[in-house]
């Protein structure tokens, strides 16, 4: 079982998909040089410039070309560098890629994967540190994926390329160097969450980089006698209602934590669904509605860290008397 970084795992998955299917191509700025996070390293040397295509600095052009490629039978993997830059291509994503299958009665499909590295990026300030998964979850016609581990970045990229529909693929900007075991041939299905830590007192749903802070918080809560079940959503749309609601029915409490701004974040959809379906206690934890600052103290104010998650666990566990001080007693 090889041990790979998050970037190496994605590169391995893309290379395997390109070897298996000549219709899979990659295009974007700097992909021929391996990408800014080395997530394309070695691909240009193996597949050549006709399948690993360096493009001009124009996100609208890149995405528009990819939509045309997909409608003509190719399977483009589109590099947007960071999600913040993808905003320059919103018409091509929102009005073209997302709607073609519906508007043409299924006769025209757009099987592209738009890689949009998402989330906070240390010392990169407001225009490079946005978490915008809720924007795309709101968009009918696209799948939204947020891998949190090297193994999932490998398996979910394979699933995204094979899906046949446009996928907004949101790797986290600060996870590229994260290492982990990646089983050969690992496959997962889009729309299936992963229970990363079993528990019985409270359900904690999260995704992407926040998973790692959530696991730290759950470990700390366990030392005080609170058993937290941590669920990694992995796919924002479709999201795994069955796994989440089954856990909530067991624990009777739900906390959703995400790095994105809390106001109108996707956590609200999960919390509302659990409250409406089960009538349980729910809480949300997200970033304040402010741009991410460049200085570290300001940047830290926008981070949803372990301490904040642990405080939210404590507050929610207190509903019904199951808070940490009571657990100690």
Residue with tokens 């856990």: 247
Residue corresponding to tokens 């979910």: 156
- The number of folded domains in the chain is 2
pLDDT confidence of 98, banded at 50, 70, 90? very high
Cα(78)–Cα(191) distance, integer angstroms: 21
| Res 228 pLDDT > 80 | yes
Cross-strand bridge partners of residue 229: 203
Instruction: Encode pLDDT of 160-170 as tens digits.
Output: 999 999 999 99
- 200 and 174 both lie in a single domain: no
Whether residue 175 is found in the same domain as residue 203: no
CATH number at residue 229: 3.40.50.920
H or E, element range at 270:
helix 267-278
Angle between helices 150-162 and 6-20 (to 10 degrees): 30
Distance CA 237, CA 239 (A): 5
Q: Given pLDDT bands bounded at 50, 70 and 90, which one contains residue 291?
A: confident
Q: Is residue 310 in a domain?
A: yes
pTM equals 0.92
265 and 169 both lie in a single domain: no
* Region 26-42 average pLDDT: 94
Provide the angle, in degrees to the nearest 10, between the axes of the packed helices 210-223 and 306-317: 50
* 147 vs 158: CA distance, rounded Å: 12
pLDDT tens for each residue of 65-85: 999 999 999 999 999 999 999
List the beta bridge partners of residue 223.
none
pLDDT bracket for residue 322 (50, 70, 90) = low
Q: Is 93 a domain residue?
A: yes
Q: Say how far apart CA 229 and CA 249 lie, in whole Å.
A: 12
Within a domain: 119: yes
Beta bridge partners of 256: 205, 284
Question: Is 1's pLDDT higher than 60?
Answer: yes
pLDDT computed for residue 5 by the predictor: 97
CA-closest candidate to residue 176, choices 145, 143, 148: 148
Q: Are strands 228-232 and 194-197 parallel, antiparallel or unpaired?
A: antiparallel
Residue 158 falls in the annotated catalytic set: no
Distance CA 324, CA 139 (A): 40
Residue pair 206/233 in contact (Cβ under 8 Å)? The answer is yes
Average pLDDT, the chain: 93
Can you give the pLDDT at residue 321?
Answer: 58
Q: Are residues 110 and 17 in the same domain?
A: yes
With tokens 């999600």, the residue in question is 83
Instruction: Give the H or E element holding residue 135.
Output: helix 133-137
pLDDT of residue 270: 97
Q: Is the pLDDT of residue 328 over 80?
A: no
C-alpha–C-alpha distance, residues 114 and 193, integer Å:
21
pLDDT confidence of residue 227: 97
pLDDT at 155: 98
CATH number of the domain where residue 129 is located: 3.40.50.970
Output the pLDDT for position 41: 96
Q: Span 90-101, mean pLDDT?
A: 95
Mean pLDDT of 302-317: 92
**Alpha-carbon dihedral sign for residues 175, 177, 178, 179:** positive
Average pLDDT score over residue span 214-236: 97
- pLDDT higher than 90, residue 120: no
- Which structural domain range is residue 176 located in? 3-181
Mean pLDDT for the stretch of residues 85-90: 94
Strand partners, 118: 172
327: pLDDT confidence band, cut at 50, 70 and 90? very low
Band (320; pLDDT cuts 50, 70, 90)? low
Q: How many whole angstroms separate alpha carbon 286 and alpha carbon 210?
A: 10
Q: How many other CB atoms sit within 10 Å of the CB of residue 210?
A: 29
Query: Do residue 161 and residue 23 come from a single domain?
Result: yes
Instruction: Tell me what the mean pLDDT of segment 88-93 comes to.
Output: 95
């Amino acid at each position: 079982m090889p041990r790979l970084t998050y970037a190496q795992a994605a590169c391995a998955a893309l290379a395997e998909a390109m070897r298996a299917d000549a219709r899979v191509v990659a295009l974007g700025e700097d992909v021929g040089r391996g990408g800014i996070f080395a997530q394309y390293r070695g691909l240009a040397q193996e597949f050549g410039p006709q399948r690993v295509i360096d493009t001009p600095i124009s996100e609208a052009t890149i995405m528009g070309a990819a939509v045309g490629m997909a409608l003509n039978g190719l399977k483009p993997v589109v590099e947007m560098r960071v999600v913040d830059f993808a905003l320059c291509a919103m018409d091509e994503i929102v009005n073209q890629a997302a709607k073609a299958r519906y508007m043409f009665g299924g006769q025209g499909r757009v099987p592209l994967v738009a890689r949009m590295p998402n989330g906070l990026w240390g010392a990169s300030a407001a225009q490079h540190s946005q978490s915008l998964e809720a924007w795309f979850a709101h968009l009918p016609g696209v799948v939204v994926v947020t891998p949190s581990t090297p193994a999932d970045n490998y398996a979910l990229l394979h699933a995204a390329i094979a899906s046949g529909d446009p996928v907004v693929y949101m790797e986290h900007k600060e996870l590229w160097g994260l290492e982990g075991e990646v089983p050969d041939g690992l496959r997962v299905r889009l729309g299936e969450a992963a229970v990363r830590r079993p528990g019985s007192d409270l359900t904690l749903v999260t995704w992407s980089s926040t998973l790692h802070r959530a696991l730290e918080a759950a470990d700390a809560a366990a030392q005080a006698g609170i058993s937290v079940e941590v669920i990694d959503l992995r796919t924002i749309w479709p999201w795994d209602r069955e796994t989440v609601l089954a856990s909530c029915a067991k624990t009777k409490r739900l906390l959703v934590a995400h790095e994105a701004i809390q106001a109108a974040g996707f956590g609200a959809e999960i919390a509302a669904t659990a409250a409406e379906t089960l009538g349980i206690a729910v809480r949300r934890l997200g970033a304040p509605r402010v741009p991410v600052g460049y200085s570290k103290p300001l940047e830290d104010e926008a981070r949803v860290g372990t301490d904040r998650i642990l405080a939210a666990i404590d507050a929610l566990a207190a509903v019904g008397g199951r808070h940490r001080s009571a657990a100690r007693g």
